[in-house]
Structure 1
Amino acid sequence: MRLVQAELFKIRTTSLWWIMGIVLVPLYAASILINWLAANVSAGAADQNDQVRVSLEPINVATSLYTSGQYCGVLIVLLLSAIVVTSEFFHLTATTTFLVTPRRESVILAKFGASIIIGLVVWAFTTVFNLIFAPLILKNLGLGAQLGEPAVWRAIGLNALAYVLWAVLGVGAGVLIRSQIAATLVLAITYVIGTQAIGIVFILLSNNVAKWFDKLQVIVPTTASQLMVSGTDLPGNPPRWVGAAVLIAYAVVGGAVGTMITKSRDIS
């Protein structure tokens, strides 16, 4: 626990954590606004396909609103978790850290612990505001707060799991990319632009090769984390548990690889 506290202290002594916090606020506001507008626009659209009709069921609209901010929130967590590792090399404290704590697995586990706490803090921030604003939006849509539905609380809980898993992925990525600047740029660009590019590739494959390619989009981490918090299974998509399984697999592999590399890599 003392090692985890030490890792959190390192983050607090840098300016990046509050910069990320400032960035998160407008991104969250944009996220919940987009979800609100999407529900309004889709509700008025004609000739909706099955997937859109199911997504507009009250429970699915509710789970979408109560998990607003996930897309931008997990990006912030991913970057901060990577910085938990890369800051050691940026500030030239890696050697000292491993001399003070020779068991490297203890250090990396502490970094995982600190990153998971960061992830849960960001999740709590977005969830508190979702519990304030989502009922107002749902009332405006004439759907009711839906807080009595178990699926809503399940989605909120699985959303917390998504933040935790992205935190683990961030530490693994930080081990692979030591440079703090490079890690921040590579992860942000890959998350935002890479996700969109891969999505376009799957759409092209689905339209021109075979329809089942569309279901493979779940292997993209952002798609997996969004799928796992849906209220019901959506037509044409894999079950929600598949999204959770994919994200857990990424986190386990990323965590294991990160730990092994940290134990074997020379520190100078």
Structure 2
Amino acid sequence: MLNLINAELRKFFSTRMWWIMLLVVLGWTGLGLSLSIGMAGVEGQPGLASPEFQQTAWPYSGGATTFTMIVGVLIVTNEYRHRTFNNTFLVSPNRTRVVMAKLATGVIAGLMYGTAALVLTAAAVVPAVLGAGGEFSPTANEIPRMSLGILVALTVYVLLGVGLGALLRNQVAAILVAIAWTFLLETVLTSVPALQDVGQWTPGGATSALYDTGMDYGFGAAELLPFGVAAAVLAGYAAVCVALALVTTVRRDLV
């Protein structure tokens, strides 16, 4: 199994996809951080030196779930697009092991992107806070909980992408569905008060509960699941993704 995982990791890092998506994740995170720092202290927003600023800025590390979901889609659909799955299964006829290796690669990729986003956030937030005369501690202001939640969120969305890619196979269609789901549907369900009872059970709602501090940014505090419930919901989504990837890849003929 380790040989298969190593092979999948070599595939992943042998293309430009991984570093292009890394730049996209960092760019999106950096954009959010720039806005947060630039708006600090303006029109009632927390000042740079306040603990509340750290609680509002840190979650921007988790804002790139759309892009890590696309990474998961590409891990699977690149094989279909370039018709390399046939060669893959000739080398390793056990399709279940191949899919599990891809899922393991997705977990590693998600942790890598999450860590990179957190490092960028720390590099932006810590100097901003200290420069404004504030204090920063990596164990205060819910930083550990938010950091763990961000790592889980970005990793789970890679697994969601793997499951979606295995289901649809068509790369363009799967990417469009991922974008529509995360940017449109989840945004509406988690933002509109009348729909938040449903939105809190979506992957986006559950991941927000892991790193959102419940602060009111002027639109009303979001309805969030308890931390433990959100973790269980995400574990369920991850299990569904694993099952979906296994069933659709193992049982269907290649084309």
1:216 is matched with which residue? 198
Instruction: Measure the CA separation in 2 of the matches of 1:267 and 1:2.
Output: 23
Give the unaligned 5+ runs of structure 1.
46-57, 207-212
Structure 1 SS opposite 2:225: coil
Structure 1 position 157, deviation (Å): 1.8
**Residue correspondence of structure 1 range 137-176 to structure 2 within 5 A:** 137-139=128-130, 143-149=134-140, 151-176=142-167
Letter of the structure 1 residue corresponding to residue 28 of structure 2: L
- Match in the other structure for 1:32: 33
Count of residues paired in the alignment: 248
Q: Which runs of 5+ in 2 are unaligned?
A: none
- Give the TM-score, by structure 1 length: 0.80
Structure-2 separation of matches of 1:229 and 1:107? 33
Higher deviation after alignment, 99-108 or 61-70: 61-70
Q: Please tell me the root mean square deviation across aligned C-alpha atoms, in Å.
A: 2.8
Closer, same or farther: CA 141–107 of 1 in aligned 2, 3 Å: same
Do the aligned partners of 2:26 and 2:116 also contact (CA within 8 Å) in 1?
A: no
1:11 matched residue in structure 2: 12
- Is residue 2:239 matched to residue 1:252? yes
Which of 197, 207, 210 lines up with 1:225 in the alignment?
207
Aligned to 1:68, the other structure's residue is in SS state: helix
Which amino acid is 2:58 matched to? Y
Residue 62 of structure 2 is matched in structure 1 by 70
After the TM superposition, which parts of structure 1 deviate over 6 Å for at least 4 consecutive aligned residues? 232-235
| Cα separation, 2, equivalents of 1:245 and 1:63 | 24
Native 8 Å contact 2:59 2:212 kept in 1: no
Q: Cα 1:97–1:188, aligned 2, differ >3 Å: closer, same or farther?
A: same
Name the CA distance, whole Å, in 2 between partners of 1:84 and 1:12. 11
Instruction: Please list, as runs of the form range in 1=range in 2, the aligned pairs for 1:1-268 lying within 5 A after superposition.
Output: 1-37=2-38, 39-41=40-42, 43=44, 61-72=53-64, 74-139=65-130, 143-149=134-140, 151-199=142-190, 202-203=192-193, 206=194, 213-231=195-213, 236-268=223-255
Classify 1:106/1:60 alpha carbon distance in 2 versus 1 (closer, same or farther; 3 Å).
farther
Which stretch has the larger CA shift, 140-149 or 246-255?
140-149
Q: Identity, % of aligned pairs?
A: 25
Contact 1:82–1:173 at 8 Å: present in 2 too?
yes
Query: Given that residues 189 and 198 in structure 2 are in contact (C-alpha distance below 8 angstroms), is that contact kept between their aligned partners in structure 1?
Result: no
2:76 aligned partner, one-letter code: V
TM-score with structure 2 setting the length: 0.84
The amino acid that maps onto 1:226 is S
Question: Which residue number in structure 2 is paired with residue 50 of structure 1?
Answer: none
**Is the 1:40–1:141 Cα contact (8 Å) retained in structure 2?**
no
